């Protein structure tokens, strides 16, 4: 297939082959379809030759990358989170930056409940014990966990995903309280009660954190916050590593100041704080909250739509830096 005259697009991580074929029919593609994470110099080199790029949460798009990419018009993240972008630098260089909101809300909310249930009902711990051949007889209080029904769930960050989690919690007969930067209109709250973060940590039987990672949310949950929580509580983090202070969480879990945790994201992932691996009361998944076949395809397709619109001179639907529009590269 001739690539003459086609815009050049870099795809930095492996996606479904059918999507690669679709992209190849429209673009001259520079795809990285192995399992290799591009080192920063190689990422910069590939983007330097591209008109557009499909990027992922693992790609740091910063001043150095952008300064070397003179014809790059758009970076379309296949993720709702965009803390891997230096948005101000994208705007300065007239590069449109986009993300993939909405399409992953329900899958991430499902995963929040999966982690909450698994941690509260000690699924990982009891399964490991069973597989190790320790089950010799039934015991009255074996792996007695914590209830969800009738308890209060505190959700920190009541955006689209936080609210999808609240809808599921209602199905478990939980009362929902939330903390966010401001109170939401009553129809959006849908029965959830707005409280301050500290009040939430004191009142909630279980807590889910679902805020974007920003300088202001770095270590939003640290030692002081964990100390406010009930010792019987479960903490779930599916936001971003760095929102929770992992070292403080390890100490709280180890010392019995918190019952359990369910974690999908970690500081310095894929490296884990080794303390987590020594603990039975933590359930961990490798940043897969949105990873269902259908949702990952929907995310990639939305990113492809953002990319296509930007390269065709149309305003992409999920533009993160509207200030870049007037200075976009033609
Ligand atoms: C997101 O969409 O931000 C997920 O964390 C995947 O990177």
> Is the pTM above the cut of 0.75?
yes
User: From edge to edge, which strands make up the β-sheet containing 8-11?
Assistant: 28-31, 8-11, 52-55, 74-77, 96-98
According to DSSP, residue 103 is labeled T
Element (H, E) at 163: helix 160-171
Tell me, rounded to whole angstroms, the distance of Cα 266 from its chain centroid: 10
By the 8 A CB rule, do 142 and 319 touch? no
Ligand 1 closest atom vs CA 56: 7
Question: For a pLDDT cut of 90, what percent of the chain falls above it?
Answer: 97
Nearest residue to 282 (alpha-carbon basis) of 74, 153, 125, 159: 125
Average model confidence (pLDDT) across the chain:
97
Nearest residue to 51 (alpha-carbon basis) of 27, 31, 33, 67: 27
CATH class of the domain at 8-103+293-327: alpha beta
**Separation of alpha carbons 153 and 149, rounded Å:** 10
Q: What is the mean pLDDT of residues 55-63?
A: 97
For residue 243, report the phi and psi dihedrals to the nearest 5 degrees: -70, -35
With bands split at pLDDT 50, 70 and 90, how would you rate the model's confidence at 187? very high
Please tell me the residue having the least CA distance from ligand 1 atom 2.
79
Please tell me the residue having the least CA distance from ligand 1 atom 3.
81
Torsion angle, alpha carbons of 306, 310, 313, 319, to 10: 80
By the 8 A CB rule, do 54 and 76 touch? yes
pLDDT number for residue 289? 98
pLDDT number for residue 18? 97
**How far is ligand 1, taken at its centre, from the CA of residue 302, in Å?**
13
81-136 tens-digit pLDDT: 999 999 999 999 999 999 999 999 999 999 999 999 999 999 999 999 999 999 99
With bands split at pLDDT 50, 70 and 90, how would you rate the model's confidence at 34? confident
Q: Is 305 annotated as catalytic? A: no
Does 2 score more than 80 pLDDT?
no
Q: Give me the residue spans of the domains in the chain.
A: 8-103+293-327, 105-284
Domain 105-284: give its CATH superfamily: NAD(P)-binding Rossmann-like Domain (3.40.50.720)
Q: Which of 93, 121, 163, 240 is catalytic?
A: 240
With bands split at pLDDT 50, 70 and 90, how would you rate the model's confidence at 33? confident
CATH topology identical between 8-103+293-327 and 105-284 = yes
3-state secondary structure 256-288: CCCCEEEECCCCCCCCCCHHHHCCCCEEECCCC
Q: Which of 111, 121, 151, 287 is catalytic?
A: 287
Q: Is 240 annotated as catalytic? A: yes
139-185 tens-digit pLDDT: 999 999 999 999 999 999 999 999 999 999 999 999 999 999 999 99
Is the CB of 81 inside a 6 Å radius of any atom of ligand 1?
A: yes
260-299 tens-digit pLDDT: 999 999 999 999 999 999 999 999 999 999 999 999 999 9
Q: Which of 269, 297, 305, 329 is catalytic?
A: 269
Q: How far is CA 117 from CA 150, 206, 255, 291, 309, in A?
A: 14, 10, 22, 18, 41
189-206 tens-digit pLDDT: 999 999 999 999 999 999
Strand 152-156 relative to strand 206-209, pairing: parallel
**Of 187 and 2, which is predicted with more confidence?**
187
Is the CB of 124 inside a 6 Å radius of any atom of ligand 1?
A: no
Does 327 score more than 70 pLDDT?
yes
pLDDT number for residue 1? 60
């Amino acid at each position: 297939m001739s690539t003459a005259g086609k815009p050049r697009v870099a795809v930095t991580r492996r996606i479904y082959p059918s999507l690669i074929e679709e992209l190849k029919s429209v673009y001259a593609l520079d795809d990285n379809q192995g399992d290799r994470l591009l080192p920063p110099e190689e990422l910069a080199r590939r983007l330097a030759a591209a008109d557009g790029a499909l990027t992922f949460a693992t790609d740091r798009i910063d001043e150095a990358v952008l300064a070397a990419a003179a014809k790059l018009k758009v970076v379309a993240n296949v993720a709702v989170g965009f803390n891997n972008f230096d948005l101000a630098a994208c705007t300065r260089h007239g590069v449109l930056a986009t993300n993939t909101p909405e399409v992953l809300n329900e899958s991430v909310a499902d995963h929040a409940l999966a982690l909450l249930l698994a941690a509260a009902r000690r699924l990982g711990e009891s399964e490991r014990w069973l597989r190790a051949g320790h089950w010799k007889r039934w015991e009255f209080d074996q792996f007695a966990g914590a209830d969800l029904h009738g308890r209060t769930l505190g959700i920190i960050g009541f955006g689209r995903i936080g609210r999808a989690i609240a809808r599921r919690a209602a199905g478990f007969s939980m009362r929902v309280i939330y903390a966010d930067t401001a109170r939401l209109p009553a129809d959006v709250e849908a029965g959830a009660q707005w409280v301050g973060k500290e009040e939430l940590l004191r009142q909630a039987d279980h807590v889910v954190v679902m805020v974007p990672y920003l300088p202001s949310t770095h270590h939003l949950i640290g030692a002081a916050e964990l100390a406010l929580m009930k010792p019987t509580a479960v903490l779930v983090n599916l936001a971003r590593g760095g929102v929770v202070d992992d070292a403080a969480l390890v100490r709280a879990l180890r010392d019995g100041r918190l019952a359990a945790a369910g974690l999908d994201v970690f500081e310095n992932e894929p490296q884990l704080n080794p303390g987590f691996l020594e603990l039975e009361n933590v359930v961990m998944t490798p940043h897969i909250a949105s990873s269902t076949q259908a949702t990952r395809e929907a995310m990639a397709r939305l990113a492809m739509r953002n990319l296509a619109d930007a390269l065709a001179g149309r305003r992409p639907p999920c533009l993160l830096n509207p200030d870049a529009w007037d200075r976009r590269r033609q």
